[in-house]
Structure 1
Amino acid sequence: MSLIDHPVGLRKHEITRGWFILAMALVGIAVGASSLLFYSIGVFFEPLQREFNWNRGQISGALIYLTAGLVVSGPVVGSLIDRFGARIVALISIPLLVLSMVGLGSLNESISAFYALFFAAGCFGGGTTPVVYTRVVNANFSASRGLALGIVLAGGGISALALPPLLASQIASFGWHAGFIVLAALAAVAWPLVYFGFRDLEGAMQPTRTVTAGAGRWEALRSRVFWTIAIGFLAVAAAISGTVVHLVPLLRDAGVPLSTAAGVASLIGVGVIAGRVLIGWGIDRIFAPYVACTVFLVAAAGCALLNYGGAQGAPVAALLIGFAFGAEIDLIAYLTARYFGMRNYGFLYGLAYSLFSVGAAAGPAVMGRLFDLNKNYEAALWLMVACLVFGALSLGTLPRFVGTSDNEMQGTS
């Protein structure tokens, strides 16, 4: 029996053949703008509060400006990728992200400068996000697409696992300025990998022929499917990102030492890594929206556990939330490709990712504001539970995929 006739054999063949692509994309996502700034900002709360007297709402509000940059850059970056390929976009964007990180390391007491640099990181670092790397993966994997996306998007889990303890130690030894310089050095790692590793890869280079299979832009934007995906994941992103960013401050309020709180927060990374691989494996075999619905309800249980269990339940809650956090971005990439094909993948995924980023920024800001009003996180956590339940139930209404080929336009009715 040939590989084409044997789906399991084809999946294994794709993963074995494409391991180098997966490794490059995994590292790129781990050191991209969204991973580095999102997973690190919670560790900067205490030193920035102490030095500049900013409150938590102000500090977490920086993610709104990061998101604004990502919203501006997302569709533009996606369109450029569709036209010129992912490689050239990433090679231009990575150095600009590094400069933004260096600027943060030189910050003074100006909150406006803090926000402006987060905006610059999102705007000019848009070519370091999963919009770039999932384009390459989707172009080179078909039968094992879900698992491949899960593997590379585990890069965010590696950041969630490694950044809190790494930055906590650097900040304790050299101050918060050094923490941002470490982030700049990590961001620079991706440049040689993209330059040498993405040569001559489909999706990474400028297209040599017109891709006609898939939905047109306006056809997709008029469909219920696209907006169900976009709004459902916006709600989920708000809930999970808000909880993740405020986990360290929540534990500090409960009297947990910073090093221990950072260690608990790093368990989110364990959940992300496990979640992205297992969920990726699952959506190759089970209808993806059903997987999403189940996983996000599990995350809702994790948020509820933080309210009921406090510091004692935090390790389990971190794992549950991290497991769900391993689902959003790869599910958006998978569903975009499956429902709408690859013709306008960059633009459509870039737009969906931008809206996802809106939720990812709004969640921490709303939680920070609710904390400042109530002096505790109880109301904020219940709001996050409601967002997760809404997102789960919305995604559960998506229709079955149409057709058997990943190159066909999927159901957009």
Structure 2
Amino acid sequence: MSAGARVGPGLYRGWWIVAAGFVCTLLAIGGTTYSFGLFVTPLSEEFGLSRADANGGFIFLLVGFAVWAPIVGRLLDRLPARSVMIGGAVLFAIGFTLIALAQSPLIMGLAVLGPVSLGTVACGALASNTLTARWFRAHRGRAMGVLAIATSAGGFVVPPLTALLMAQLGWRGALGALGLIVLVVVTLCVGLLVRDRPSDLGLEPDGAAAAASPAQAPPPERSWSTGALLRNANFWLIAWGTGILLAADQALLASMIPYGVDAGFGAQRAALLVSCLTFSAIFGKLAIGMLADRIDKRWLFTAVAACNLAFLLVLLSAPGFVPLMVACCVIGLAIGGTYPLWMTLTADCFGSTSFGAVMGTMNFVVMPFSIASIRFIGEVFDRTGRYDLAFQVFIGTAFLATALIWRVRLPRQGAGSSRQPGGRDASGAAPDRDEGPALHAEAVPGLSKE
């Protein structure tokens, strides 16, 4: 084992990779997805925009994420991750500076669609999860569970910082300062801590010593082309299953405060419901991530979907504030598990060699579900004055998502995702047997298990 393999007494270097990814994801997601709402009012006032038009910037951000993710994923598989992530931080800062200087909403929208969304994808969650998939295998669920917390933590840390900057510098100055903070912190974290692969330090994933001879080394993992991914049933099953459930979760989060206000709880207590749901989801991400190393991930996904369904039933019952707050605290523990299960299922089925490309392409499939669900729940309320129909539809989608995930063919226990044709598993097409239910390529008509 090389001298740089472990940092400190007994600490595997991969955990420092997770720490760097945590900070980068916290800043990238916290500075965009969670802080966006702070700029809606000043933009509306300065440019005379309606709230709907101002909120259109968030749609631009989501579309940008979907467009750039496949490209960034391929770059992460072909170029040094440090270069991609630092380049992303530079683009992030440039985009925020352009918005701060722009005198036209159109220029601002193009900046969000271009450098801001591209920079966020390149230095945030996609890059961090790609690195984590390379550095961990046996403890991949735990590592990705920790990393998944970063998106929620970003919602706690960055918006208050942004609000403070806005109070001191105005909204334009705050954008420039936030872009600079992200550039400096990400560059330092990535430059000091990130290394592409454990093999760079003479290690195998999880800190095992590198094999003494080629015969002892595990077989190389498969590299996936876009065409092979699109012909693979597991790709579509994971994308549709997790995408549908994540979309419902995001629609519920976006509507929880209006739901609480309409129920007569008041804005402050309604906001407390979101805080309880988000905070409990942090622990849920960590718990599900740890369990994912020990339990069939399809069963875990079923449990998460069941909790999602239970929460929807609670909402349909129009409960009082205290019962609803208890439900947010308890059921939110499991709802937070969808994201780490998405990451670990994908890594198990497709390996780490092309993880960036796989996740980037999958993001392009998943993102429209989120956009459509947020639009759908708003349309339901506008037409009926209630959210009940949307909740009922989401109950149905929870069942559909679970059914799709149970069609996923997992690699055999201990087989990983590394074997090549001649002894291939779920990542390399046509595994010879599955420890889960008997599944076949017919899970998605017309698709192969390539």
Q: Which has the higher helix share?
A: 1
CA distance in 1, matches of 2:354, 2:278: 32
2:193 maps to: 197
Conserved? CA contact 2:69–2:363, under 8 Å: yes
Q: 1:267 to 1:242 in 2, by over 3 A?
A: same
Gaps of at least 5 residues in structure 1 are 1-12, 206-210
Q: 1:172 to 1:192 in 2, by over 3 A?
A: closer
- For residue 291 of structure 1, report the CA deviation from its aligned partner: 0.6
Match of 1:98 among 79, 93, 103: 93
CA deviation string 1:284-312 (max 9, x = no partner): 00011211121122123223333422655
Conserved? CA contact 1:78–1:131, under 8 Å: yes
- For residue 248 of structure 1, report the CA deviation from its aligned partner: 3.1
1:82 maps to: 77
- For residue 236 of structure 1, report the CA deviation from its aligned partner: 1.5
1:216 maps to: 224
Q: 1:159 to 1:311 in 2, by over 3 A?
A: farther
CA deviation string 1:346-376 (max 9, x = no partner): 2111111232233233332333333333344
Q: CA RMSD in A?
A: 3.4
CA deviation string 1:317-364 (max 9, x = no partner): 544674355333322221222112223222111111232233233332
CA distance in 2, matches of 1:385, 1:214: 37
Match of 1:286 among 292, 295, 317: 295
TM-score, normalised by the number of residues in structure 1 = 0.81
Local SS of the residue matching 1:246: helix
Gaps of at least 5 residues in structure 2 are 1-8, 202-218, 420-424, 430-448
1:116 maps to: 110
Q: 1:243 to 1:355 in 2, by over 3 A?
A: same
Could you tell me which amino acid in structure 1 is paired with residue 306 of structure 2? L
2:139 maps to: 144
Local SS of the residue matching 1:284: coil
Q: Whose relative contact order is higher, 1 or 2, with alpha carbons under 8 Å and at least 6 apart?
A: 1
CA distance in 2, matches of 1:309, 1:175: 40
CA distance in 2, matches of 1:204, 1:378: 54
- Deviates further, 34-43 or 134-143: 34-43
Match of 1:125 among 116, 120, 126: 120
- Deviates further, 101-110 or 121-130: 101-110
CA distance in 2, matches of 1:73, 1:391: 25
What are the equivalent positions in structure 2 for 1:8-27 lying under 5 Å apart? 16-27=12-23
- Deviates further, 302-311 or 161-170: 161-170
- For residue 278 of structure 1, report the CA deviation from its aligned partner: 0.4
CA distance in 1, matches of 2:129, 2:402: 23
- Deviates further, 376-385 or 163-172: 163-172
Q: Which has the larger radius of gyration?
A: 2
Local SS of the residue matching 2:415: coil
Local SS of the residue matching 2:35: helix
Q: 1:216 to 1:167 in 2, by over 3 A?
A: closer
- Asked if residue 341 in structure 1 is aligned to residue 335 in structure 2, the reply is no
TM-score, normalised by the number of residues in structure 2 = 0.75
Q: 1:40 to 1:392 in 2, by over 3 A?
A: farther
CA distance in 2, matches of 1:107, 1:316: 45
CA distance in 2, matches of 1:261, 1:178: 31
2:204 maps to: none
Q: 1:173 to 1:318 in 2, by over 3 A?
A: farther
2:411 maps to: 401
1:367 maps to: 377
- Deviates further, 117-126 or 342-351: 117-126
- Asked if residue 231 in structure 1 is aligned to residue 240 in structure 2, the reply is yes
- For residue 277 of structure 1, report the CA deviation from its aligned partner: 0.8
- For residue 184 of structure 1, report the CA deviation from its aligned partner: 3.3
How many residues are matched? 394
CA distance in 1, matches of 2:196, 2:230: 32
Q: 1:237 to 1:49 in 2, by over 3 A?
A: farther
Conserved? CA contact 1:139–1:203, under 8 Å: no
